[in-house]
Amino acid sequence: MRRLHRQQVDNMFIINCKNYNEISGEKINKLASIAEKISKKYKIQIAIAPPHHLLASIKKSKLLVFAQHLDDAKIGSTTGYMIPEIVKKSKVNGALINHSEHRISSKEIINLVKRLKKLKMKTVVCVKNVREAETYAKLNPTYIAIEPPELIGTGRAISNERPELITKSLLAVKKARNSTKLLCGAGIVTSDDVERAIELGSHGILVASGIVKSRNWNKDIEAVSYTHLRAHET
């Protein structure tokens, strides 16, 4: 990412690690340490969403840790499912719900938002269009995250390719008249992509490949954080 001279939005920057090889094994701790250091330096809230088996191993005071997915399954005899009440006990702070790469039913979204809210965990409901943004904002999740699936992983940013999706989703979220805030993601790589997203009204961003696959995590996480912060100041 190029060095930023202007700034960006609010304090939520989510790094979705997906199942990229770049963060496998011990490597996730290096990414987490860099994110923690930058989060402190810029006083920006960074959340990291590691693969499930690494959730409990990230112990950083300033970072939030989000699950990439949770299941609306019962506590107890549910082998292999990821249960809100159980991950909460391993200090997980929240979860992505209904990510494009792991879609779930409407009933499951409703139940999971309810369960996570009861546990005081943060909820990031991912949606692929404005209609879904409007529907799920009514549940009052912490965030609605608009991500057009066709741009995910392409390096072509939502903020440049589909700016109207951000502005219309913002209106849809506002219509719910609650505390839900809008995030956006898909194809975000450069500081300009971040800045534009914030200018369009997004409260924060979700990034995966643009950070995780970068050859310089320090430089790129710092660039996004700096842009984010400055944009919020303006």
Enumerate binding residues for ligand G3P (CB under 6 A).
16, 99, 147, 152-153, 185-188, 206-210
* Nearest residue to 162 (alpha-carbon basis) of 186, 127, 191: 186
Is 108 part of the annotated catalytic residue set?
Answer: no
Q: What is the maximum span of the chain, computed from C-alpha positions, in angstroms?
A: 53
Rama region for 197: left / alpha / beta (φ>0; ψ in -120 to 50; rest): alpha
Letter string b/e over residues 200-212, b meaning 16 or more CB atoms within 10 A of that residue's CB:
bbbbbbbbbbbbb
- Which residue lies nearer to ligand G3P by CB, 47 or 177? 47
Is 52 part of the annotated catalytic residue set?
Answer: no
Three-state secondary structure call for residue 134:
helix
Q: CB of residue 228 vs ligand G3P: minimum separation in angstroms?
A: 15
- Are the C-beta atoms of 112 and 84 separated by less than 8 Å? yes
- Which residue lies nearer to ligand G3P by CB, 40 or 149? 149
Q: CB of residue 156 vs ligand G3P: minimum separation in angstroms?
A: 9
Q: Which of 36, 69, 99, 203 is catalytic?
A: 99
Q: Which of 36, 132, 134, 147 is catalytic?
A: 147
Helix (H) or strand (E) holding 159: helix 158-161
- Which residue lies nearer to ligand G3P by CB, 141 or 185? 185
Q: CB of residue 149 vs ligand G3P: minimum separation in angstroms?
A: 8
Residues with catalytic function: 99, 147
